[in-house]
Amino acid sequence: MSDDPIDRSGLRPRFWETTPLARMTRHEWEALCDGCGKCCLNKLEDEDTGEVALTRVACRLFDDSTCRCAQYEIRHQFVPECISLDAGNLEGHLYWMPETCAYKLLHQGKPLFDWHPLISGDPESVHAAGVSVRDATIPEFEVDEDHWEDHQIEEPGV
Ligand code: SF4
Ligand code: SF4
């Protein structure tokens, strides 16, 4: 098994099946992230319909090779608009969140997928399942915002 960039050590077995999102510890909450990286992609929102389209253009802090935020703990110094998801604001963000996101799935009362590192025990499984955007993004400083629509993609793994 490869090293997990997310600390999933010492967690209660299958805590996500017995503990509501609002009662999870910060450690448990953070461990729920599957590492897909899809929430770090820029989206296009249609002002009239509210529809959200995904692009392969990634946030300037996104590291395409690790599929992680390069400065997660201090990211707001560089990207103040990055959303800190919590149980209280989750509902308002569901409309743009990836369909496979663990927070969205649990909020909807659905189980995690077998490829989730909490179940597989392997952080590589999200990439092997074709759900992540590792090695598939373009940095936003390489694409003018006017051209983001040329880089629309379907959500991987859906
Ligand atoms: S979409 Fe959800 S599971 Fe995937 S990286 Fe973002 S927060 Fe984590
Ligand atoms: S600041 Fe980090 S966590 Fe936030 S969208 Fe950018 S890469 Fe993702």
Contact 22, 12 (CB under 8 A): no
Residue 4 confidence (pLDDT) above 90: no
Q: Where does ligand 1 bind, in terms of residues with CB under 6 Å? A: 33-39, 98, 101-103
> Which amino acid, 25?
T
- Please give the average per-residue pLDDT across 12-36, as a whole number: 97
Contact 8, 118 (CB under 8 A): yes
Share of the chain above pLDDT 70, in %: 99
Alpha helices (H) along 12-55: 26-31
77 alpha carbon – ligand 2 mean position (Å): 11
Alpha carbons 135 and 128: distance in angstroms, whole number: 12
Average pLDDT, the chain: 96
Residue 1 confidence (pLDDT) above 80: no
Residue 3 confidence (pLDDT) above 90: no
Assigned token pair, 66:
């690790």
pLDDT confidence of residue 103: 98
What tens digit of pLDDT does each residue of 41-86 get? 999 999 899 899 999 999 999 999 999 999 999 999 999 999 999 9
Cβ–ligand 2 distance for 42 under 6 Å, the answer no
Minimum-distance ligand 1 atom for the alpha carbon of 97: 1
What tens digit of pLDDT does each residue of 111-132 get? 999 999 999 999 999 999 999 9
Domain boundaries, the chain: 15-153
12 alpha carbon – ligand 2 mean position (Å): 27
Q: Helix or strand or coil: residue 63?
A: strand
Residue 14 confidence (pLDDT) above 60: yes
Residue 2 confidence (pLDDT) above 70: no
Question: Which are the contacts of 119, defined by CB distance < 8 A and separation ≥ 6?
Answer: 112, 113
